């Protein structure tokens, strides 16, 4: 996070604009006001002053009133008409008499003060110092405003980023819960036929039926190992996705595996299951374990929610089920 600044840097040096058509007056004014931190920008005409103002920011403009071509009043009016210079404080310096009409015209042009020549050094320095201090304060406020804006924008960015991370964590947690709930449900399916197969083998450990039961248990254990692999794969849990292992299989194999997993539940519900499977293999490009899960879930739901009196579940491949391998 960006820290708030403890202090504000000031812009130095501070520029003063001195405008007078007489070079000796400019030199005298510069000598009078010279001190550390002040930079004197001198112009001998209104046109030159405007050119300087286009390049530099100034804290105060000291204008001589009586100048050829463009007097101080005209220069002040032009400054007030330009957005860049309209807020520059203007102080008029005049060697002539300042009657009320001239003062009014000066203030109307934007002057903040009138000083008559010869100038009182202490008074001039004091007034110039006030405007320089005001200028520095405005610069400091501008820096503080920019820092506050940057600070607020950074806080807003961090807030949005934290919300985005929180939402991502929430979604990942939700996907994990859904994934684990699905796997927990699926893990029960192969366990029931394995348990029944063990009971059958205890009673009849030998013979053709025992071999069939062992084959069934081997298929269900393979299914169970696949589900446990899904559970142990942390990356798939976080993404909420399962892995598909595509291969060319006969759809009858998926139905057989699903029947083995669902038969205990169907039998416990007192249902009779009718399976119509053609002798000719129906080849599909799919994942045997996932297809068996789908069929087994359908059979389990039918067994759970079908009343005994309402009939019995049945399963048959539709004629439309074909594959490019068929």
Does 84 score more than 50 pLDDT? yes
Strand ranges (E), 52-195: 60-64, 90-94, 111-116
pTM of the predicted model as reported, rounded to 2 decimal places: 0.47
Same domain, 115 and 248: no
Q: What is the rounded distance in angstroms from the CA atom of residue 59 to the CA atom of residue 89?
A: 7
pLDDT in tens, 49-70: 999 999 999 999 999 988 988 9
Same domain, 181 and 296: yes
Phi, psi of 322, rounded to the nearest 5 degrees = -140, 170
Whether the CB-CB separation of 119 and 93 falls below 8 Å is answered with yes
Adjacency order of strands within the sheet including 90-94? 38-43, 14-19, 60-64, 90-94, 111-116
- Taking CA atoms, 236 is separated from 228, 242, 321, in Å, by 12, 6, 30
Does 323 score more than 70 pLDDT? no
pLDDT average, residue stretch 126-143: 90
Same domain, 237 and 310: yes
Q: What is the rounded distance in angstroms from the CA atom of residue 266 to the CA atom of residue 287?
A: 24
Q: Residue 260's pLDDT is what?
A: 75
More reliable by pLDDT, 23 or 117 = 23
Q: Over pLDDT 90: what percentage of the chain?
A: 26
Angle between helices 288-305 and 121-203 (to 10 degrees): 80
Q: Residue 217's pLDDT is what?
A: 84
Strand ranges (E), 108-206: 111-116
pLDDT in tens, 32-52: 999 888 999 999 999 999 999
Task: Give the 3-state secondary structure of residue 153.
Answer: helix
Same domain, 114 and 174: no
Does 314 score more than 60 pLDDT? no
- Taking CA atoms, 220 is separated from 31, 156, 180, in Å, by 102, 54, 20
Q: What is the CATH number of the domain that holds 23?
A: 3.40.50.2300
Whether the CB-CB separation of 31 and 56 falls below 8 Å is answered with no
* Residue 96 belongs to some domain of the structure: yes
* Residue 321 belongs to some domain of the structure: no
C-alpha distance across the termini of the chain, in Å: 63
Q: Are strands 283-286 and 274-275 parallel, antiparallel or unpaired?
A: unpaired
* Residue 235 belongs to some domain of the structure: yes
Strand ranges (E), 81-214: 90-94, 111-116
pLDDT average, residue stretch 124-133: 92
Least confident residue range of 40-49, 115-124, 130-139, 170-179: 170-179
Q: What is the CATH number of the domain that holds 188?
A: 3.30.565
Which residues make beta-bridge pairs with 114?
92
Alpha helices for the chain (secondary structure H): 23-33, 46-55, 72-80, 100-108, 121-203, 208-232, 234-239, 251-268, 288-305
Does 118 score more than 50 pLDDT? yes
Of 119, 152, 180, which residue is a domain's last?
Answer: 119
pLDDT in tens, 244-289: 778 888 888 888 878 777 777 777 777 777 777 777 888 888 888 7
Q: Residue 234's pLDDT is what?
A: 55
Q: Residue 241's pLDDT is what?
A: 61
pLDDT-derived band of residue 28, with 50, 70 and 90 as boundaries?
very high
Same domain, 114 and 175: no
* Residue 304 belongs to some domain of the structure: yes
Same domain, 217 and 311: yes
Q: Residue 12's pLDDT is what?
A: 66
Structural domain count, the chain: 2
Same domain, 276 and 184: yes
Of 119, 147, 178, which residue is a domain's last?
Answer: 119
Torsion of the alpha carbons at 27, 31, 35 and 37, rounded to the nearest 10 = 0
Length of the chain: 326
* Residue 297 belongs to some domain of the structure: yes
* Residue 153 belongs to some domain of the structure: no
Q: Residue 301's pLDDT is what?
A: 81
Torsion 275-276-281-283 (CA) sign: negative
Same domain, 199 and 291: yes
- Other C-beta atoms lying within 10 Å of the C-beta of residue 146: 10
* Residue 197 belongs to some domain of the structure: yes
More reliable by pLDDT, 97 or 84 = 84
Residue with structure tokens 């004629």? 319
Tell me the residue range of the domain where 175 lies: 170-315
Whether the CB-CB separation of 37 and 67 falls below 8 Å is answered with no
Same domain, 177 and 289: yes
pLDDT in tens, 191-201: 777 877 788 88
Whether the CB-CB separation of 111 and 132 falls below 8 Å is answered with no
Task: Give the 3-state secondary structure of residue 128.
Answer: helix
Q: Residue 204's pLDDT is what?
A: 81
């Amino acid at each position: 996070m960006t820290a708030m600044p403890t202090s504000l840097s000031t812009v130095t040096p501070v520029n003063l604009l001195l405008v007078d058509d007489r070079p000796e007056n400019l030199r005298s004014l510069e000598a009078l006001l010279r001190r550390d931190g002040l930079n004197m920008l001198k112009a001998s005409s209104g046109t030159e002053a405007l050119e300087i103002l286009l390049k530099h920011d100034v804290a105060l403009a000291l204008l001589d009133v009586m100048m050829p071509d463009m007097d101080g009043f005209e220069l002040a009016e032009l400054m007030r008409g330009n957005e860049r210079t309209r807020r520059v404080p203007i102080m008029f310096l005049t060697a002539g008499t300042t009657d009320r009409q001239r003062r009014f015209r000066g203030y109307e042009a934007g002057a903040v003060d009138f000083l008559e020549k010869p100038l009182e050094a202490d008074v001039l320095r004091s007034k110039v110092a006030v405007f320089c201090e005001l200028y520095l304060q405005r610069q400091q406020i501008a820096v503080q405003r920019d820092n506050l804006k940057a600070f607020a924008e950074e806080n807003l960015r961090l807030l949005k980023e934290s919300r985005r991370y929180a939402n991502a964590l929430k979604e990942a947690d939700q996907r994990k819960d859904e994934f684990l709930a699905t796997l927990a449900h699926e893990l029960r399916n192969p366990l029931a036929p394995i348990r029944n197969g063990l009971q059958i083998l205890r009673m009849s450990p030998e013979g053709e039926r025992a071999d069939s039961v062992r084959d069934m248990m081997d298929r269900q254990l393979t299914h169970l190992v696949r589900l446990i692999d899904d559970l142990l794969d942390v990356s798939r849990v976080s993404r909420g996705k399962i892995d598909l292992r595509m291969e060319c299989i006969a759809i009858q194999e998926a139905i057989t595996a699903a029947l083995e997993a669902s038969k205990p539940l169907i039998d416990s519900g007192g249902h009779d299951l009718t399976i119509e499977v053609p002798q000719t293999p129906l080849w599909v490009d799919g994942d045997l374990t996932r297809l068996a899960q789908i069929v087994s879930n359908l059979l389990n739901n039918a067994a759970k929610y079908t009343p005994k009196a309402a009939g019995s579940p049945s399963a048959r491949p539709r004629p439309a089920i074909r594959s490019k391998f068929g």
